[in-house]
Amino acid sequence: MQLRPRREYNIEWSRMRIIHINSETNQVLGSLTDRYNLHQVYEKSCAKKNPYLAPSACLQKLRFGDIGDAKEFLESFGPLTLDLGQRLSGTGNVVVDLREFWASQLRFSLTTALWESLDNRERLAGAIFAIYERRRELSAHGKFPLGQIFGPPPALEPRGKYEFPWQPRGREARTWLKTAKIDEMREWALQLVFLEINIHTRDQRILWQRCWEASRRKFRTVVWVDSLWSAIWEFSPWNPAGLSWRRCPHCQRFFYPKRHDQFYCTPRQQALWSKRTYAAEQRALERRRKRKKREACLQGG
């Protein structure tokens, strides 16, 4: 049996203490405090089956524009980005622009909503339309606009951006979403999620590391993650490394499933869902039987 090597990360980040919030300029002044290992935070979150121990789920659950929520997040996990000097030293004062913070939070939340809605046509249509309606707002802040397309490595130069499926055909968004099949919608949604992941993780680097074990004679590769913002995109529901969470359709809370077919956060809601699903399948089967029986009668008559 071939074993897949564990992927290691170099993600030391700093929390911050809020000094002052200026509501007129929408800026938060703070100072960097204790350093922590982001990868360990995500591993602990996964081990304890609690997504809210990690920044990705916490960022997504924030009430948009709520200063109290922003303050709690910044003090728990630190600013989304830091300049290299502060990243390495872990000291100094920082200023967080709340307009950029909320634009980032919205961009991540709406993109994640696409991923969470892939198997439900109605929800997927709503998620696609929501991100389309706010595309200019999402592109106003940040280094690259929504759905930026890059050329092949190593240059990775910007080459155009994502177009929603109805745009090249000159159709209305609601018209296309009303008639499109779920497979087609899913493909367009996955392409946009794919582009967004690459946009926000493009500054990561693969480095060699030593002195991580007792003998100090071994080497290994690590992923150097450039920011908390990049780590949030790295360790999100689409991550294939077993760190994926789901949103409970009943209470809307995030949770780590214990099985691949667990979609609700409690056994009671999961059991109710299983019963409803079984009953719906039986009703559909009975309808098919009746239809076939009528068709046979018509053909015989």
Q: Strand runs (DSSP E) across the chain, as ranges?
A: 9-10, 12-22, 27-37, 93-97, 148-150, 158-161, 205-210, 219-224, 246-247, 254-255
> How far is the C-alpha of 300 from the C-alpha of 154, rounded, in Å?
68
Which tens digits make up the pLDDT trace of 164-210? 999 988 889 999 999 999 999 999 999 999 999 999 999 988 888 88
pLDDT exceeds cutoff 90 at 13: yes
Q: Which residues lie below 8 Å from residue 143, measured CB to CB, with a gap of 6+?
A: 199
**Whole-number percent of the chain with pLDDT over 70:** 88
**Among 45-59, 115-129, 149-163, 207-221, which range has the highest average pLDDT?**
115-129
Query: 154 or 101: whose pLDDT is higher?
Result: 101
pLDDT exceeds cutoff 90 at 94: yes
> How far is the C-alpha of 163 from the C-alpha of 47, rounded, in Å?
39
pLDDT of residue 163: 93
pLDDT-derived band at 297 (thresholds 50, 70, 90) equals confident
Q: Which long-range contacts (CB under 8 A, 24 or more apart) does 136-144 make?
A: 137/103, 137/106, 138/103, 138/106, 138/107, 138/110, 140/103, 141/99, 141/100, 141/103, 141/104, 142/100, 142/103, 142/104, 142/107, 143/199, 144/199
pLDDT exceeds cutoff 80 at 293: no
Query: 211 or 104: whose pLDDT is higher?
Result: 104
Q: 95-104, 248-257, 282-291: which range is least confident on average?
A: 248-257
